[in-house]
Amino acid sequence: MSDDDWPTPMPRPGDDDENQGADASVFAVFAPPHDPLPDDTPPDDTTAAESPDETAAVPSGDDDDGEPEPAGAALSVRSARQAVPAAGSPPPSRVGSPMRGLAVPGGTDRVVGPRRRIGPLSWIGAALLGVWLVAMPLTSTVTELRQNTQIIVMVLAVLGVNIATGYGGMISLGHGVFVAVGAFAAAYAVDDLALPWIVSLVAGAAFAGVIGALVGLPALRIKGIHLALVTLGLAIVFQPLAKRVPAFSGGVSGRAVGAEMVPPSWFGTSRWAEGFYRYLICLAIVGLAIWLTRNIISSRPGRAMRAVRDNDTAAAVYGVNLVASRVSTFAASASLAGLAGALSIVLVPFTSQESFPFQESLVLYATAVLGGLGSIWGSVLGVAIREAFSRLGELVGEVGGLGPISEFLSLLDEEQFVFGVLLVALTFVFPRGLIGLFNRRRDTPVSSGAQNRTQP
């Protein structure tokens, strides 16, 4: 093994207690009680990580936790807490840097995917992202800062789609609904129930999660393109319905959020300081949510999720509870979208069904695929590319004095048009998403769920 062949990302040994604490609490929600999928392979166990497909199906017997394996047992059943990483050679500490995720996007997908290496583009991308995150607030006006923070928040919604479609294999064209529900619920909690902001944000995400679980129920039976149809229907139906529930959504005129999130007085009192404070809060929450998502995905429920995506029958045979896995996947993805919605009312204290036309859902889905399904950093990339191109379009669209050409260029002002063209073009060039650029191997194993159908 050469030096740059990192083992696929693992929880750092030092973090393990904390990691698994988090995982275990998530497990309470997500994992069926007796889930026989193997737990994380220990960090130094590169052989197991290198033969990922086998890991998914039949765990290798070389556990380090000292549990005696019954001879010839096909499955080893271990709980999350029992996965004690072996002392000894820990993985290189760089694994813990932010680079890790970007560099090894599919790393979170390691059970079914080939190992990936860090490409040079990833370093550039990470550096750009880091520079932007620091420089953007310092150089922005109050309005720009707010708009840019909203872009950061939308990463969560796209990530939500990615969880459902990329990791769960369930096409969702209706995630805008969950964003809206999260925004409405958080507004309701913070205004009508007078809850503190943090609680309201959690309430928004939780409520969206509950709705997502309900929507996930049909996904137990409906698969592939049929599910796309149902979720699209949901997205189209939602707006006119929300208009008629004024107590919740504010009806036709929308609802203003009375309680604004203000920084403590020592932080500063200018409007920019207020915006900067919200930026920091949103950035922290988005970062936390991404980190949690990553952990869930690379732990037991995440593996169950992907196993169900790739072949639900086989997953069920290995003891994955299909109902729990599908429903909780949808709930998790919806609550991420709901959190995005809840954060959006922190930034702009107003929400209305008008802000969530169903095209918004389509754009969310398309952004997730654009960036790359089955990869957390793909979602970040998707949002970044979408924004970059829509700004580029605006710039070009403003060029005037070219006669008939500027007539056409005025189209570039329209975000929808630019995005549509980008979508079609990139589907041709990178059918598996832009994140493929960053991987040396592009064969991310993503299926739409349609491939589950066995050919007769």
Contact 164, 448 (CB under 8 A): no
Does residue 394 belong to the site contacting other proteins (CB under 8 A)?
no
Interface region with other proteins, contact rule CB under 8 A, candidates 114-122, 134-142, 238-246, 293-301: 238-246
Does residue 119 belong to the site contacting other proteins (CB under 8 A)?
no
Closest distance between other proteins and the C-beta of residue 171, in Å?
7
Among 362, 384, 434, 435, binds other proteins (CB under 8 A): 362
Of 266 and 428, CB closest to other proteins: 428
Does residue 229 belong to the site contacting other proteins (CB under 8 A)?
yes
The residues in 167-186 that bind other proteins, with binding defined as CB under 8 A, are 171, 173
Among 313, 402, 405, 440, binds other proteins (CB under 8 A): 313
Closest distance between other proteins and the C-beta of residue 85, in Å?
36
Of 34 and 221, CB closest to other proteins: 221
Does residue 423 belong to the site contacting other proteins (CB under 8 A)?
yes
Among 225, 247, 395, 405, binds other proteins (CB under 8 A): 225
Closest distance between other proteins and the C-beta of residue 26, in Å?
28
- What is the distance between the alpha carbons of residues 447 and 429, in angstroms, rounded to a whole number? 18
Does residue 402 belong to the site contacting other proteins (CB under 8 A)?
no
Of 79 and 447, CB closest to other proteins: 447
- What is the distance between the alpha carbons of residues 344 and 187, in angstroms, rounded to a whole number? 10
Report the candidate in 138, 75, 101 with the shortest Cα–Cα distance to residue 292: 101
- Total number of residues that touch other proteins (CB under 8 A): 51
Interface region with other proteins, contact rule CB under 8 A, candidates 34-42, 60-68, 230-238, 285-293: 230-238
Does residue 359 belong to the site contacting other proteins (CB under 8 A)?
yes
State the residues that interact with other proteins by CB under 8 A: 171, 173, 218, 221-222, 224-226, 228-230, 232-234, 236-237, 240-241, 243-244, 313, 358-359, 362-363, 365-366, 369, 373, 410-411, 414, 416-417, 419-424, 427-428, 431, 446-448, 450-451, 453-454, 456
